[in-house]
Structure 1
Amino acid sequence: MSRLWRCAFLTMDNTEGWSIDSDLAIAPLQTLGWQVEIVPWRCLRADWAAFDGVYVGTPWDYPEDPQGFLRALQRIAASGTVLANPISLLRWNLEKTYLRDLESRGAAIVPTMWLDSLDENTLAGLHDALSAERVIVKPVISTNATNTFLLDRCIAPATRETLLATFSKSACMAQPFVSAIQNEGEYSLFYIGGEMSHAIRKIPKPADFRVQEEHGAGIHAVTVDMK
């Protein structure tokens, strides 16, 4: 009898309100001899060494406790099981400051201001500093467009108050708003084993800019010309 391989899919304690489709991979993996278990990353009782591999699937609440999330990944890696992706890559990708590294290697990124915090004076000068009529401000560590603000030059008092309270002691980033996101959308390219597997296009719902399904965006399979 052939050996049954065990794989854990990392997720959250509470997935209510999230669009999660990693269960689509379970049946195909079973045909290949894999038993899949869904395990919250906060689970302290998990015996990670009992798994042949751990896939970082949908742990999208990690911005609530990024250091705790990293400690969980370190425990998994220390158990000797295979962690996908490697912890060095996951740590690098945890903060959006990875964009600075990509830029230093020649990649074109949207002009970005990196801020340790946000105060009235900095907020007042954002649009001029970025030469933009509309600006996006978001946390350096975030998922699902949480605490992401689209700001015109005239900022409503309630929005200003929320914005300053959110980032008074928290790092954030500011970028000119790229209006093409509202009609062209955003492309995600998926690489497996160093080779592109497939791509999707995420288009916000009308009058929105957020490209996540949780906010009503549409997800479409596309073919991408890599030439």
Structure 2
Amino acid sequence: MEQSKHSEEEILKLGKKLIKELELVYTGNTLARWLAHYLAELISNIDKCESKEEKNNLQRECCEIILEIWGKRERIPIEKPTEKLKPIIDVLSLLKKKEHPFIRHRFLGNNSALRNKNSSWLTFLEVVKNNSERIYRKSLISMISEELLEKDKKWIEEHGSFLSEDEKSVVEYLDSIKEITISFSKDLEKEVTENEKTENLFIELEEQLDEQKEELLRLKKQVLNSLKKKRK
């Protein structure tokens, strides 16, 4: 039984969370209103029990109903954990199906003859690799709001044992790269506006793309000069 994986206290806490989520969609949604009242009444009745045996039985029944509702959460009118992160989850799923494009192949670092012969190309590849990683992380984390990520982190902190590994892993991953996004003013006392954050983001992205282009032009010049010398 799934209930054996969680304590009754954890399940009742999840039930109260569901009530709050359902209350957010009260307006014009009969199902949400009915479910919220139904769960609230079930949980409230536990405290009204006169005997310990009656309380235990009702609490057990209430937990079974909460787990049943949670198991069918795709059908109930609440904002599911990581629901708004779905586009990002899809991107990450696609990347998992192929070898990560930024993995550095060992032979490039260990083969000194190859490195000496192709040092200009390898330098260019290093710039592309490093900048592309930064651009990827910054762009990915900029697709979501900090408030949204914090809400999903709270789901993990309070009800993580009820969430799937995929739901938890995407939030943990995004949180881990959040610190490597946009470098703001070093003046910690200065409040940074949303507009300034966005402008700073695009400045950094443009700088990294410009660096790649500069390295490409440098490489092009070296290769063409080398070809000219061979013709002479």
Would you call these one fold, judging by a TM-score over 0.5? no
TM-score normalized with structure 1 length:
0.23
**Structure with greater Cα Rg:** 2
Structure with the bigger percentage of helix: 2
TM-score normalized with structure 2 length:
0.23
Structure with the bigger percentage of strand: 1
